[in-house]
Amino acid sequence: MRYLPHTSEDIKSMLQVVGAESIDDLFSTIPDDCISKDDLQLPDALTEWELDSHMSALSGAMAVSPDYRVFMGAGSYEHYIPASVFFLLGRSEFVTSYTPYQPEVSQGTLQAIYEYQTLAARLLGMEVATASHYDGATALAESLLMAVRISKKRKVAVSSLIHPLYRKVVRTYFEPTGYQVLELPYLENGLTDLAGLDEVDDLAAVAVQSPNFFGCIENLKEAGEKIHNKDALSITCFTEALSYGLLKNPGSQGADIVCGEGQSLGIPRSFGGPALGMLAGRKKYMRSLPGRLVGQTKDLDGKRGFVLTLATREQHIRREKATSNICTNNSLCALSAAIYMASVGGTGIKKLAELNHDKAEYLKQELKKAGFKISFESPTFNEFVVEFPAGFDSVYDRLLEKKIVAGLPLAEYYPELTGHYLLCTTETMSKNDMDVLVREVKL
């Protein structure tokens, strides 16, 4: 699309309408000491073809190239994406994520959201799912706020094994609300310690991640029973949606609300974004769900149609009655996830999950044989924590020079785990890649 600037006549006409003499008058409310008077230090202009060449050169100089072996997950995972996803996603009917403010004439957009809701609900084992959440972190924060609205209680508890950045977002959301956020410690086996719940009153909900940040698989059924005994809502969080191709889904384990990150479902990592926040719940909590909900109906002629059944954001209803102030529409990312799930299918998702699990187990066992300690003995999915000897930082740097990223150092997030690294494998990692890692860390 070409850039078509306003002509001087256009600008003059618009200024007359708003009663301003110049463009500078539009910024007259900005204090003078906040306005830069210097010219922008910009390079000389390039032709379109020169700019294309320049951008190609910059992209070739990026630190992460296809040559890198990246054994890092921690909430963002590298997966193969079927060509069907990008082909369909790039069609002109879909290549916008804008909100359908006139839903009755946006049947394609509504159907895409409806299909996503259906597939997401099946994957997570829940009765209803919504779209329009930024990422897994905001979906978790919205879930906890939803639980507070439902229960009318003032405390929520989150496992310390929920992604550290998710917990930061929760604290940001809850800081001005007056509600209390408690953090539950973890046990030596890498699972959440729920024993402290017995001493907590006025508890609205408890959030547990599975697989958790250490990659360990939590016992969601047992956790849900303890949480329900406290008359609180059980919230299951996740960062790796594909894990439920192999693990029992949260709905079957008694979860009331399920939330997490859907990036693994057909969305490339792209240096950290965009992401897809997934949020689903029991039907009885449907009216407390944030976001929008698309339903299926029939028109006057009996033909199938789709309608915006619930829209509880402040863009659709009065702000004071809104369940959420999230103003984006993640329909494009949701559509990507829907196409991915439909392309891969239930059998394919199961096989992918098994492959992810088995490859991680192979790497784990090879590192054990090489003499390294696996920090937690609980079953894991596609990532796990390994303890390397003192001085491994220099080895880590040496591996980076060889284009190998040997996991995520955990000390920044868990100071007690200095020298521990979170490693991840997916179906994109070959046996040779893993053997090279084991060989190099032993040197």
What confidence tier does 33 reach under pLDDT thresholds 50, 70, 90?
Answer: confident
pLDDT of residue 233 exceeding 60, the answer is yes
What confidence tier does 434 reach under pLDDT thresholds 50, 70, 90?
Answer: very high
Comparing 273-282, 318-327, 349-358, 409-418, which segment has the lowest mean pLDDT?
A: 318-327
CA distance 357 to 160: 23
Instruction: Please give the helix or strand (H or E) that residue 347 lies within, else none.
Output: helix 331-369
CA distance 117 to 405: 36
What confidence tier does 38 reach under pLDDT thresholds 50, 70, 90?
Answer: confident
The pLDDT score that the predictor gives to residue 287 is 86
pLDDT of residue 414 exceeding 90, the answer is yes
365 phi/psi in degrees, rounded to 5:
-70, -35
What confidence tier does 105 reach under pLDDT thresholds 50, 70, 90?
Answer: low
The pLDDT score that the predictor gives to residue 192 is 98
Average predicted confidence (pLDDT) for the chain = 90
Closest CA to 143 of 160, 163, 123, 129: 129
**pTM for this predicted structure:** 0.86
CA distance 28 to 16: 16
The pLDDT score that the predictor gives to residue 99 is 58
Average pLDDT value for residue range 158-168: 98
What confidence tier does 273 reach under pLDDT thresholds 50, 70, 90?
Answer: confident
Neighbour tally for 314: CB within 10 Å: 15
Angle at 276 between CA 274 and CA 279, to 5 degrees: 160
User: In this structure, what token pair is assigned to residue 7?
Assistant: 């002509």
| Helices marked H in 19-104 | 48-60, 83-89
Higher pLDDT, 99 or 375: 375
The pLDDT score that the predictor gives to residue 39 is 86
78 phi/psi in degrees, rounded to 5:
-90, 120
Average pLDDT value for residue range 301-322: 72
Pair 237, 231: CB distance under 8 Å: no
pLDDT single digits (tens) 197-212? 999 999 999 999 999 9
Distance of CA 166 to the CA centre of its chain: 9
Pair 200, 227: CB distance under 8 Å: no
pLDDT of residue 94 exceeding 90, the answer is no
The pLDDT score that the predictor gives to residue 338 is 95
CA distance 55 to 49: 10
Q: Position 395: which residue type?
A: V
Which distant-in-sequence residues (6+ apart) come within 8 Å of 38 by Cβ? none
| CA atoms lying within 13 Å on the CB side of residue 243 | 29
Average pLDDT value for residue range 281-307: 89
User: In this structure, what token pair is assigned to residue 268?
Assistant: 């490339």
CA distance 56 to 30: 39
pLDDT of residue 113 exceeding 60, the answer is yes
User: What is the chain's Cα-based Rg?
Assistant: 25
pLDDT single digits (tens) 328-356? 557 889 999 999 999 999 999 999 999 99
Comparing 52-56, 64-68, 295-299, 367-371, which segment has the lowest mean pLDDT?
A: 64-68
Which distant-in-sequence residues (6+ apart) come within 8 Å of 165 by Cβ? 75, 137
Q: Position 427: which residue type?
A: E
Domains and CATH numbers, the chain: 69-80+346-442 (3.90.1150.10), 83-342 (3.40.640.10)
Average pLDDT value for residue range 126-141: 91
Handedness of CA 198, 200, 201, 206 (dihedral sign): negative
CA distance 126 to 236: 11
Average pLDDT value for residue range 374-387: 97
The pLDDT score that the predictor gives to residue 331 is 81
Q: Hey, what's the torsion of the CAs at 266, 270, 271, 275, to 10 degrees?
A: -50
Q: Hey, what's the torsion of the CAs at 308, 310, 315, 320, to 10 degrees?
A: 160
The pLDDT score that the predictor gives to residue 37 is 82
Average pLDDT value for residue range 283-310: 87
